[in-house]
Structure 1
Amino acid sequence: MRARRGALGRFLLSLFVVGGFAVSGTGAAALPHAGAHVAGAAAVESLGIAGTAWIVDESTGTTHVLADSGVTDADLARLRGLGGAVGVERTGGRLRPLLAGGDGVYSSARRCTAGVNVQADSAYYFVTAGHCTDGLPTWYTTSALTTVIGPSTASSFPGDDFGVVRYADTSVPHPGTIGTVDVTGTATAYVGQSVCRRGAVTGVSCGRVTGLNATINYGNGEIVYGLIQTDICSEPGDSGAPLYAGDKVIGILSGGSGSCAAGGVSYYQPIQEALDAHGLSVY
């Protein structure tokens, strides 16, 4: 489990050490573009521009930045002024955590999507986005808030973006499935992988993993690290939705930009980190 990032400097140090070295059974060797990796990503983050997401191409050391529609021309110029090690591209819409009112799982103020059902011994839970569970202790099956699912028992946001909710009402079903898919385990994402996402608002949408270890600055000091980037669209209310390949769960939806009408980009918290942090397993 990565530590919470209240002290961004300490986190960045550990991030860059991981990003800058390839570890093998015989020790660690510096990647050829480790210096560019550190310099580019650190320079982008130091600007503190909300509405940006970035990811490092390990093969070239180039930092690729997506800037949403809320990034001003002046800030866009600041990003482009970082030089050739940083590439900048506009993305449609706004980068935001994807939550709203409607179907899914409900708190007193938010609607999100239950991700994957998990267990620890005889207790059952579901994993969702941490920006959903943050500060909101009780979840319900409908917007009328009549049938209680149970309380949030853990929340990690920002830094990470996962939360855990316990099934307190035994009458609420919690099968080990994603729709009709029977979950058999978890998997680690890789670039080019074919994946699908099932959200409470948009249903099942499929695409490919386009990057790993992405960072998003949502604004207001809310920066999330280590995300999986995909070309799958999502909408508000899909937050927490599971990303999966076949019968393996890969991640939990954090946020994205664009829409399912015009196309978009979405980002996912790797699932295994959340499970390891709280001793949970899929079933």
Structure 2
Amino acid sequence: MVALGRIGIRVLVAAAVAVIASMGLPGNALAEQRAMLGGGSGILLDGRYTCTLTTVGYDRAERMVGLTAGHCAEIGMSVQAEARQAGVIGTVAAVDHDSDFAVIDFDRAKVTPIRQVAQTFIDGIGTPPRLGDIVCENGRTSGFKCGLVWDTNLRWFQHQVCSRPGDSGGPVTIGDRLVGMNVGHIGVEMLGVRVFDIGCESLIAPLHDPAVATQIGMVLAAIDAGGGVGAGFRPL
């Protein structure tokens, strides 16, 4: 019989944990994986639809919540980070298809909220942009880009920034202030052909299909009026 001292036992335990980890088996000694999410992170809804997170914060009930575009979601859909390692990390708790936003109720044990994703850093809510302002958008497909505001009204604004499938829900910012949520593009027709961001990488402005964003203040006011998950939202 071979006698094992304390050092030998520790070595064997460490080796066993390493084997369990390599096999992908659960173990109390292994920390659960968490998703790091913020405005601009890619998310997966219902296991098949990719969109972008607008921002993460807390509501008045101290629930961790996130926002994305309403056309991405239906109530009860599961939500995952695009990388999926953490599994299901939340559920769609509210959807407004008219104003085109959705509220996600996150599992606080599985999500680490962050203020910065790529060049987008969100440190508060800003006032609506004005004609001629430069806004920046961050989408999981197109990445971070900035452009000129072309048109505004009380509910939405148009801007010269690309929006492709998967970018919906992405944050639109001025500096470190969140001012809008990307909801897609207008769909310009020229000579009978529907233009879909043909000019995204071109300087030929007439071929560009302007992106559309909802005013974030309008979105938050609508969530507050509903009084449910997300009401009283404040960013990190």
TM-score between the two structures when normalised by the length of structure 2: 0.65
* RMSD value, Cα: 2.2
Unmatched segments (≥5 aa) in structure 1: 1-102, 215-225
Structure whose CA Rg is larger:
2
CA contact (8 A) 2:120 2:138 kept: no
CA distance in 1, matches of 2:176, 2:92: 26
- Structure 1, 197-206 or 184-193: larger mean CA deviation: 184-193
CA distance in 1, matches of 2:42, 2:117: 13
- Classify the secondary structure of the residue corresponding to 1:155: strand
Aligned to 2:165: 236
Unmatched segments (≥5 aa) in structure 2: 1-40, 188-195, 203-207, 224-230
Find out whether 1:275 has 2:220 as its counterpart: yes
Aligned to 1:192: 132
Of 101, 116, 122, which aligns to 2:55?
A: 116
Find out whether 1:174 has 2:113 as its counterpart: yes
Find out whether 1:107 has 2:60 as its counterpart: no
Aligned to 1:203: 143
- Structure 1, 141-150 or 188-197: larger mean CA deviation: 141-150
Write the letter of the residue equivalent to 1:120: D
Aligned to 2:26: none
How far does the alpha carbon of each residue in 1:135-182 deviate from its partner, in whole angstroms, 9 at most, with x for none? 55211113768611201111111x211111111152322113343444
Write the letter of the residue equivalent to 1:268: A
Count of equivalent residues: 169
How far does the alpha carbon of each residue in 1:210-263 deviate from its partner, in whole angstroms, 9 at most, with x for none? 11138xxxxxxxxxxx22111111110000000000000011111114323454
CA distance in 2, matches of 1:118, 1:179: 18
- Give the 4+ runs in structure 1 shifted more than 6 A: none
**% of aligned pairs identical?**
25
Aligned to 2:91: 151
How far does the alpha carbon of each residue in 1:171-217 deviate from its partner, in whole angstroms, 9 at most, with x for none? 32211334344422212121111110000111101101111138xxx
TM-score between the two structures when normalised by the length of structure 1: 0.55
CA contact (8 A) 2:64 2:108 kept: no
- Structure 1, 173-182 or 272-281: larger mean CA deviation: 173-182
Write the letter of the residue equivalent to 2:169: G
CA distance in 1, matches of 2:101, 2:215: 9
Indicate how the Cα distance of structure 1 residues 239 and 194 shifts in structure 2: closer, same or farther if over 3 A, else same. Answer: same
